[in-house]
Amino acid sequence: MTQHDSHARTALVVVAHHRTDSLTAHTARRAAARLEAAGYRIDLLDLHAEGFDPRMNMSDQPDWGNREKAYSEEAHAHMQRIIDADVVVAVFPVYWQNVPAILKGWIDRVWNYGFAYGRSKPRLAGKRMLWLGLAGATADDPIVKGMQAVLETNLSEGIAYYCGFSHSTVGLLTDAEERPQRVDAEGNLLIGEAVAGAEREAQYADLDRRAREFVEGLVAEGLVAV
């Protein structure tokens, strides 16, 4: 695999949602626009739109005795897109305090042995990662603290840093639903009335502001690294 030009700045923005009109897709487009304004070339990867199959197969099953294994053409094409990127931004809805199956499958098949890990000098060393997860929980829900901890452990420690990334941030964006959700002490899901009008506009403006701050932090980290 060819390494990318060290003077070019490319952002791979990965969208993991089945609807193009979703808040997740909107957040990904806004993130891409801000990165582009900061001077990045954008590679927008919509996993559903591109028909990515998240299921592991024989071609992409890692061979622990052969880190030079030639994986499928599809996996190699995605590997090259990661190689060509200086930063990777994954935007997704939080399902069960984790990423959706299509994003997990992308990591399983593409961030594979011999490519993303399993070498004394990681191929992804020095790259930066931002995980933007949209959650239906309200900001004051006690579950949020644990959700943040789980995501940071799984995504930053278990994946990004394990694969050599120099910087990884989990941006948990709560209050993503128009109807507030929380779980009470007995485990019941409580769904409130839908917000509307000015209150709704303010809620989503605040979510967009928080997402923008995470993206700006990623950009600033790159300037420090330079």
- Residues 6 or more apart whose CB falls under 8 angstroms from that of 222 comprise 9, 86, 87, 128
What residues have CB less than 8 Å from 164, skipping those under 6 apart? Answer: 116, 117, 122, 123, 124, 125, 126, 127
Tokens coding 97 = 């305090």
CA atoms within 13 Å, Cβ hemisphere of 116: 24
Q: How far apart are CA 137 and CA 166, in angstroms?
A: 30
Q: How far apart are CA 185 and CA 142, in angstroms?
A: 10
Separation between Cα atoms, residue 198 and residue 182, nearest integer Å: 22
Q: What is the pLDDT of residue 169?
A: 97
pLDDT at 189: 84
What's the CA gap between 169 and 163, in Å, rounded? 14
Neighbours of 114 (CB within 10 A): 17
pLDDT of the residue at 178? 83
- Centre a 10 Å sphere on the Cβ of residue 57 and count the other Cβ atoms it contains: 12
**pLDDT recorded at residue 186:** 87
User: Does residue 206 contact residue 175 with C-beta atoms inside 8 Å?
Assistant: yes
Q: Which residue has the tokens 């979510």?
A: 207
Q: What is the pLDDT of residue 4?
A: 46
Residue with tokens 């499958």: 105
Widest distance between CA atoms in the chain: 59
Residue with tokens 């954008």: 42
pTM flag (> 0.85): yes
Please give the chain's pLDDT, 226 residues, in tens. 544 444 669 999 999 999 999 999 999 999 999 999 999 999 999 999 999 999 999 999 999 999 999 999 999 999 999 999 999 999 999 999 999 999 999 999 999 999 999 998 889 999 999 999 999 998 998 899 999 999 999 999 999 999 999 999 999 999 998 888 777 888 888 888 887 888 888 999 999 999 999 999 999 988 765 4
Contact 41, 10 (CB under 8 A): yes
